[in-house]
Amino acid sequence: MSGRSVMSVAVESDTVAAAATPASAASREVPERPPARLGLSGRLFLVTVAFVVVAEVLTYVPAVANYRIEWMSDRVAAAQVAALVLDGRTGEPVSEAVESRLLAGVNARAIAVRGGGAQRLLAIEPVPETVADTVDLRDVTAWSTIRGAWRTLVAPVREPIRVIGEGGIGFDRVEVLLDEAPLRAAMIDYALRLLVSSLIIAASAAGLVFVVLQVLIVRPVRRLATSITAFAENPEDAGRIIAPSRRRDEIGQAELALGRMQRILADQLRQKRRLAELGLAVSKVSHELRNLLTGAQLLGDRLEDTADPMVQRVAPRLVAAIARAIRFCEASLSYGRVSERAPKLSCTPLAPLFAELPDLAALASHPVRVTVAAGECRVQADPEQLARALANLVRNAVQALDGAGMPDAEVRVAATREEPGRVTILVTDNGPGLPARARENLFSPFQGSVRSGGTGLGLPIAAELIGINGGSLTLDPGEGGARFRIVLAEA
């Protein structure tokens, strides 16, 4: 018997040590992602270039279109000067030399001035009957300006175009007949010069914006990412905690928050590591202690057969104390070893689970009654884990009532639908209730028990089982008796 106990406990402790390592290693595993082909700096550069290109297009096209209108306006202004010359030579014929100089100054084939019901024409060659296009500078829209510039650059015409402008003193308007070839050449020259200067300005602006964003955003974000990556590799290394800068903006706040989180997490990990080491040590101590207690229990069993009255009076109490110590060691080893599997949620009727609970009344040495009422309720839970949680609650209630020695002791388990989509399971007893000390540490391992010899593990295990099934386990406040409330999703 003692040999089997030693072997079983040794296997259990080895299982604890073996199971702890994979679990902790699995918890540290992080899925790796392939590195991005284009980092944050590259993406920022492309976005900057894209915005600069859009801005240049939005300014470049109207600028070229406006240059066409300005070029025509200059020709009309020169034509107005020529019109004043014609008006000053009223009654005198204009020689061909003067006409040639005036037309050459305007760079036009013909100039027509209209006003006071009369029209004056200045031309050396015959005026063509048709023109390729007419541009009225008195009524210009943005769309017509851009469209006209596009036509001049892409599809120039050989026929002259007529340009109409405002008149001057003594006439209403001026019309100029122009060749489009000089206009197109001037526009191409202006467009090229504007393109070069725009590219220089755009490149300078984009570079400046990129450098500023690098300094203000990219480098701090990269620093945050580097700190997170380095901290993830070794969270317990205090040297990998980020040192916040003096920035007061959102990035500075993020650095402060990250630093606080890293310090808290590092402290918690160090504490958990110590607790894990302590738990392993406790498991080993419990293992050795149980072996010793098992041998002591065998000696106690032999002492009960002794005829000495003093030994017969003390031996049962000694055996009972040793048995409680062995149960405590077994519970400690079991709690340290168990790692609950992921629940297999399914539509679970409560009636079959409740039907097994009245059998737990046999654990009491005094009469205790267990009544159940499941109705037609169904929950979304793992049947095995829910059965274990219910058994822990009912077992605790039965043992508490048995220890109190109350007459008409009863444990009631009932399922109701108190809210839509949820099922409430109430486990109620009519015992003396729980003291304040037990309520404060009710779901803490080894701390919530008020029964002599209890380990305080039943309620923490039940709460864990209910929690991983998406439910909650709470104690309803009130005097007299204890009522635990389980809330699960309805199936």
**pLDDT recorded at residue 272:** 79
Candidate from 196-200, 341-345, 432-436 with smallest mean pLDDT: 432-436
DSSP of 32-43, one letter per residue?
Answer: --PPPSS-HHHH
**pLDDT recorded at residue 23:** 39
For the chain, the average pLDDT equals 77
The pLDDT tens digits for 429-455 are 888 777 776 676 677 665 555 555 455
The DSSP letter of residue 216 is: I
pLDDT band at 408 (very low <50, low <70, confident <90, very high): confident
Instruction: State both tokens at 107.
Output: 């760079």
Helices (H), 120-169: 142-154
pLDDT band at 206 (very low <50, low <70, confident <90, very high): confident
**pLDDT recorded at residue 329:** 65
CA distance 186 to 416: 89
Q: What angle do CA 415, 416, 417 make, to 5 degrees?
A: 140
pLDDT band at 4 (very low <50, low <70, confident <90, very high): very low
**pLDDT recorded at residue 21:** 42
346-489, what's its fold? Heat Shock Protein 90 (3.30.565)
- Which residue type is seen at 462? A
> Is there a contact between 453 and 396 (Cβ–Cβ < 8 Å)?
no
In angstroms, what CA-CA distances link 350 with 15, 211, 221, 391, 398? 34, 66, 53, 13, 20
Q: In terms of pLDDT, which residue wins out, 170 or 228?
A: 228
Candidate from 56-65, 87-96, 130-139, 353-362 with smallest mean pLDDT: 87-96
**pLDDT recorded at residue 280:** 67
**pLDDT recorded at residue 34:** 61
CA distance 71 to 186: 8
The pLDDT tens digits for 308-329 are 777 677 677 677 667 767 666 6
The pLDDT tens digits for 175-192 are 888 888 888 899 999 999
CA distance 43 to 51: 12
Total H helices, total E strands in the chain: 12, 12
Of residues 278, 264, 275, the one with CA closest to residue 235:
264
**pLDDT recorded at residue 482:** 86
Query: What is the average pLDDT across 214-229?
Result: 86
DSSP of 387-436, one letter per residue?
Answer: HHHHHHHHHHHHHHHHHHT-TTEEEEEEEEEEETTEEEEEEEE-S----H
- Helix%, strand%, coil% for the chain, nearest 5: 60, 15, 25
CA distance 411 to 403: 14
**Bridge partners for 378 per DSSP:** 349
* Backbone angles phi and psi of 164, in degrees to 5: -110, 130
Instruction: State both tokens at 65.
Output: 């279109």
Domain coordinates in residue numbering, the chain:
40-193, 346-489
DSSP of 52-69, one letter per residue?
Answer: HHHHHHHHHHHHHHHHHH
Q: Which helix (H) or strand (E) holds 122?
A: strand 118-123
Place of tokens 């504490």: 271
Confidence check: pLDDT of 26 > 50: no
> Is there a contact between 393 and 484 (Cβ–Cβ < 8 Å)?
yes
**pLDDT recorded at residue 124:** 57
Query: What is the average pLDDT across 92-108?
Result: 66
The pLDDT tens digits for 238-284 are 778 888 888 888 888 888 888 888 888 888 887 777 777 766 667 66
The pLDDT tens digits for 60-74 are 889 999 999 998 888
**pLDDT recorded at residue 299:** 65
Query: What is the average pLDDT across 465-491?
Result: 87
CA distance 23 to 320: 37
The pLDDT tens digits for 352-402 are 899 888 888 887 778 888 999 988 899 999 988 898 899 888 988 888 888
Instruction: State both tokens at 138.
Output: 């008195």
Confidence check: pLDDT of 8 > 50: no
CA distance 370 to 350: 16
